[in-house]
């Protein structure tokens, strides 16, 4: 029997309600990287907004060029048209040009009721990224202080940092032990994506319950690595299982590229910066493609995956830009790969499923 049935994994609305009932407030956070511990220090629960899928994107479409991805289009619609009173602050990290554009639209053209806070991430080569990010986090602290009227001490921040680091360690263990967990792909992704909205302490508690069930038996299925932004629609995961595949390792922006190691410094801002910068290589940090390729090869080797599915969001330029070099590198190492594209508002297409199925048959 599936272990998830015993877990009582809270949903997003439950997590928000329960945090607010204890006097906390909610920060709506756009993708990808941001300092969870800093928000928690101001008693703000970060709740991530990856789209969301399956909403009416009309408002966003009216303010964006047609070649902007569905994550940004949906996010703009969601922020402006959803009953959004549950969110007290919006954080928009500048992970890509489209998200940077979204930040400008929300700040200058169609501001929502909530304060909008941008966060710049270091992407340049040769710069001191930790120092840049440390200063950005200090600036964000000042803005949050002005909004909330609260000034958390260094000790309070360190306590929150340690909670987040523990949750990040558990998340990394779940990924490492993926093939020995008693979870299907859909269950695994429901669990790890709960990190997008659960308080770190709650996530750690649930993750530990699953880690306690690690077994010697290895999950069956044709092992693959999935790379891209996020596994939406999530029905994809059931389809892959039914086709005989299993996701043995993950290079998705929402999950595998956010396995942050603990920071080292005793200075909270620098420690948070060190931790964020320890994530897997990606264009969002300006990483060289060779680093991405080596990271992918490492995932393939560790998970014994037989191929890579690049599961891309339509019009996601940063992913598209890296794709030819990554596939060329994989091909040189005789590792098969395939590419499919989705719009998070569309149902799974038969054409795409057929392509994945044919790929699984080829590598089996």
- Measured from the CB atom, the residue of 106 and 316 that comes closer to ligand SF4 is 316
Shortest Å, Cβ 5 to ligand SF4 = 33
Note whether 229 binds ligand SF4 by CB under 6 A.
Answer: yes
Shortest Å, Cβ 313 to ligand SF4 = 4
Rounded to the nearest 10 degrees, the angle between the axes of helix 70-81 and helix 97-104 is 20
Shortest Å, Cβ 183 to ligand SF4 = 26
DSSP 181: S
Query: How distant, in Å, are the alpha carbons of 129, 192, 282, 289, 325 from that of 125?
Result: 9, 31, 13, 13, 19
Shortest Å, Cβ 70 to ligand SF4 = 8
- Measured from the CB atom, the residue of 160 and 327 that comes closer to ligand SF4 is 327
Name which of residues 61 to 120 contact ligand SF4 (CB under 6 A). 69, 71-72, 95-96, 98-99
- Measured from the CB atom, the residue of 28 and 31 that comes closer to ligand SF4 is 31
Element (H, E) at 284: none
**181 CB burial (10 A radius; 0-12, 13-18, 19+):** buried
Q: Provide the greatest CA pair distance for the chain.
A: 59
d(CA 55, CA 78): 7
The stretch among 8-16, 145-153, 240-248, 313-321 that binds ligand SF4 (CB under 6 A) is 313-321
Of 260, 301, 309, the closest CA to residue 282 belongs to 260
Shortest Å, Cβ 8 to ligand SF4 = 31
- Measured from the CB atom, the residue of 67 and 109 that comes closer to ligand SF4 is 67
- Measured from the CB atom, the residue of 36 and 257 that comes closer to ligand SF4 is 257
d(CA 54, CA 51): 9
d(CA 276, CA 73): 26
Name which of residues 163 to 202 contact ligand SF4 (CB under 6 A). none
CB 30: neighbour CB atoms within 10 A? Answer: 25
Q: How many positions of this chain bind ligand SF4 (CB under 6 A)?
A: 14
Residue 309 β-bridge partners: 226, 338
Choose which of 10, 28, 31, 118 interacts with ligand SF4 (CB under 6 A).
31
The stretch among 135-143, 180-188, 269-277, 312-320 that binds ligand SF4 (CB under 6 A) is 312-320
Note whether 337 binds ligand SF4 by CB under 6 A.
Answer: no
Shortest Å, Cβ 222 to ligand SF4 = 27
Structure tokens that stand for 7 in this block: 């877990």
Element (H, E) at 156: helix 154-176
Choose which of 316, 323, 326, 360 interacts with ligand SF4 (CB under 6 A).
316
d(CA 51, CA 74): 5
Name which of residues 280 to 299 contact ligand SF4 (CB under 6 A). none
Note whether 313 binds ligand SF4 by CB under 6 A.
Answer: yes
Query: How distant, in Å, are the alpha carbons of 68, 92, 320, 323 from that of 310?
Result: 19, 26, 10, 8
Residues 6+ apart with CB under 8 A from 178: 188, 219, 247, 248, 249, 250, 303
Shortest Å, Cβ 76 to ligand SF4 = 11
Note whether 27 binds ligand SF4 by CB under 6 A.
Answer: no
Shortest Å, Cβ 39 to ligand SF4 = 20
Shortest Å, Cβ 254 to ligand SF4 = 9
Choose which of 318, 339, 346, 348 interacts with ligand SF4 (CB under 6 A).
318
Binding site for ligand SF4 (CB under 6 A): 31, 69, 71-72, 95-96, 98-99, 229, 313, 316-319
């Amino acid at each position: 029997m599936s272990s998830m049935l015993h877990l009582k994994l809270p949903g997003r609305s439950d997590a928000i309600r329960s945090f607010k009932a204890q006097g906390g407030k909610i920060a709506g956070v756009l993708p990808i990287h941001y300092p969870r511990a800093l928000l928690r220090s101001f008693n703000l629960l970060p709740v991530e907004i990856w789209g969301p899928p399956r909403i009416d994107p009309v408002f966003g479409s009216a303010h964006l060029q047609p070649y902007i991805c569905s994550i940004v289009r949906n996010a703009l619609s969601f922020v402006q048209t959803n009953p959004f009173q549950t969110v007290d602050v919006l954080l928009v990290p500048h992970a890509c040009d489209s998200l940077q554009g979204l930040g400008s639209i929300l700040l200058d053209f169609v501001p929502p009721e909530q304060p909008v806070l941008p966060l710049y991430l270091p992407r340049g080569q040769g710069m001191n990224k930790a120092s840049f990010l440390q200063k950005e986090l200090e600036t964000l602290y000042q803005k949050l202080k002005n909004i909330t009227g609260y000034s958390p001490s260094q000790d309070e921040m360190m306590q929150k940092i340690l909670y987040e680091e523990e949750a990040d360690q558990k998340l990394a263990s779940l990924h490492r032990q993926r093939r020995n967990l008693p979870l299907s792909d859909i269950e695994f992704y429901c669990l790890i994506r709960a990190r997008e909205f659960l308080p770190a302490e709650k996530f750690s508690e649930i993750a530990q319950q699953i880690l306690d069930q690690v077994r010697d038996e290895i999950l069956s299925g044709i092992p693959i690595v999935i790379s891209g932004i996020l596994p939406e629609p999530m029905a994809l995961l059931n389809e892959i299982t039914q086709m005989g595949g299993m996701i043995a390792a993950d290079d998705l922006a929402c999950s595998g590229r956010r396995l942050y190691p603990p920071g080292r410094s005793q200075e909270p801002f620098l420690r948070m910066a060190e931790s964020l910068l320890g994530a897997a290589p990606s264009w969002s940090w300006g990483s060289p493609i060779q680093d991405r390729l080596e990271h992918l090869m490492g995932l393939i080797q560790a998970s014994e995956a037989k191929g890579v599915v690049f599961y891309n969001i339509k019009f996601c330029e940063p992913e598209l830009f890296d794709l030819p070099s990554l596939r060329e590198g994989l091909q040189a190492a005789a590792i098969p790969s395939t590419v499919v594209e989705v719009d998070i508002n569309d149902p799974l297409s038969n054409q795409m499923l057929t392509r994945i199925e044919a790929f699984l048959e080829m590598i089996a």
